[in-house]
A and B are shown apart, each in its own frame.
Chain A
Amino acid sequence: MTQDNNAAARAELAAILDSLVSECALRTVALVTRDGSLVTSRGDVSYLDITALAALLGGMFSATREVAKLVGEKHFSILLQQGEKRHIHISLVTNDFMLALIFEDVGKIGMIRTVTRRIAGRVGELAAMDWTPSADEPASQEPAKRSSEFREYALDLIDRIFSP
């Protein structure tokens, strides 16, 4: 495959999540690692800080897993938080990723359950895909050169940002 792997995976995941958003009338969907990093988000993200949300969801994810262990379960696969206007449905995709769906229409819960279960496998595969050097990303040089160039730039940025 000479096609760019990263771009193809990116497009496929975006398409899956976009159709999840429209099928289930979601406000927002966030795919988050167990460690609280955002893999990607779709839908409307203008009303919240998505990075902060991901960090908090990561915390919930690990806390919930520990709670599950304490009561003799491996994990709880679904969490539902109901608010007055907005609700959030969190489901495990694999051991390392979760999908958080923010929605307003409670009537969609059945649909949400079905669709998240259906797409979980593929979403998990795409989320776990490793970065591969490719043509659309400028870092297409050999790894050693790429890394050393990256470090040089990053150190420069750090010095500028943190200099007292």
Chain B
Amino acid sequence: MRNAYLDQFPDEARVIKAAFWSSFIALAIGGVLGLVQALHRTDVFRFIQSPDYYTVLTAHGVLLVIVFTIFFLVGTFTWAVTTSLDRGVVDTRFTWAWYIMMVIGAALAGITIFSGFLESAPSILGSELNADVLFTFYAPLEAHPFFYIGLVVFVVGSWLAGVDWFRTWLAWRRENPDERIPLPTFMVLTTTLFWYICTLGVSLSILVFLLPWSLGITESVNPLLTRTMFWYFGHAVVYFWLMPAYLMWYTMLPKFSGGKLFSDPLARVVFVLFLLLSTPLGIHHQYLDPGIAEGYKFIAMTNTMFLLLPSLLTAFTVVASMEHGARQRGGEGYLGWLKALPWRDPIFTGMALAGLMFAAAGFSGMINAGMNINYLVHNTWWVVGHFHLTVGTAVALTFMAASYWFIPQLTGKELWNRSVALGQVVLWFIGMTFMTNAMHRSGLFGLPRRTAEPQYQGFDFEPAVGTVGEINMQVALGAVILTLSLALFLLNMVMTSIGSNSESIPDNTYADTLSGAEDSPRILDNLKLWTAIAVVLVIIAYTLPLASIIDAGGLFGPDIEGFRLSTWVDPAVIESLSEVIR
């Protein structure tokens, strides 16, 4: 008897599959836009106008780091909860409801962004439909109300998804009053809790300040306040993307390596640390902001450094579990066991390469976190190099590798081509190497991020090493390889989905542990306690900075109106103006 996820939970499988396809669509569009950006900036091939570059970049950011990642996350988490509790969700109609809500939110935000390409965008609710504000939407740059509404609807959808997981867990708890929370569910619940804490900031920022202001109900905003509220959410969200990848590394990678997870208790400690520390450090994105005293930046820096701990622990556990797996498969020697790992398997290899890139990202991340060194690299391409290693590889590549496991589980069809899949993950690794190496290097000599034409009239960049031209070629080459890899991934997904049913799908299980939950103190499962501590830490880190920002600039700022830059001035006028300035 086949015992794939589809056979266990056919209804849930359908929702999860829908969530994954939503995320693949976002990945496909976002990835192609990434290629457009890479070729445009480096002046290898330009076919859009430079002002439209920022529309492209807004779409790339929102589609990839909001839509792609979070749709994949809700799919993974729903799978993790139902698989590890061995019961379905309480009511699949509710599951469909939050999924559809997220789709509506994403579509609304997406349409608003893409309408920025139109020669004359339609006017709705008294203003033109567009949102050239990038995914950080810093006021006083102003987007159409639909953009903000879309984001809020999407986030509320994800809140309801969290409700769904909690409900399912509580239902299980009634049936199993004395059992420990299974590890995958524990991971889902702790992640959901910090998601609630951090999204509160951005939702309030939108609902109280940005949306009314964009609708013309309020007149002014305090840009530093909305910016700080964004980053209150903005760092935790990076862990939100990362947690499904961690979940896969902890609960699936050991299995794919042929062994067991090294330690369940330590995995719980790691997730508790993320719950505690993900939010009270957002100010580390504002080291360069005026209006925030150095002391608060210092607290954020210290918290950031301590958050290295769970990632270092993860590195240990994952490598130890892989070694255990390899030895089970007959591997020997100090490093010889590496040869015994299943490198032929795209799921294993993809995740292992993703983990490796994440380690590299750890190094550049420590530079970013250093309050003083950050001055050299802040908002340069260094940072873009850094997060293409983290979210663009550690997360995205793990998700793609995981899809090679999930899609057969959800459809009951065998993966179309394993060799193509292996080539695909390796190509992503190679493409990212080229692209991010060049990005990091160019950041060191000050090449700015988020810039359509980083070619200036009055000065040239002076790379310590190599030439700007060579760096540009390396970025373009990397981007082309990545796009090819992306195409192969999508091809494999489509071909698998239209393939025919197979009986030889592996059972839906996750990794066993060497040291199980019974070895960990019960207090680790006390979610109320950890949430309370997390809230206290947030209050400590944020009350004073927020109070001083409000004290200085007022809740609504000193009469700061919005700038809809793309409808603000006639571009032709500006073009001739900048011609004159030159």
Q: Do A and B bind each other?
A: no
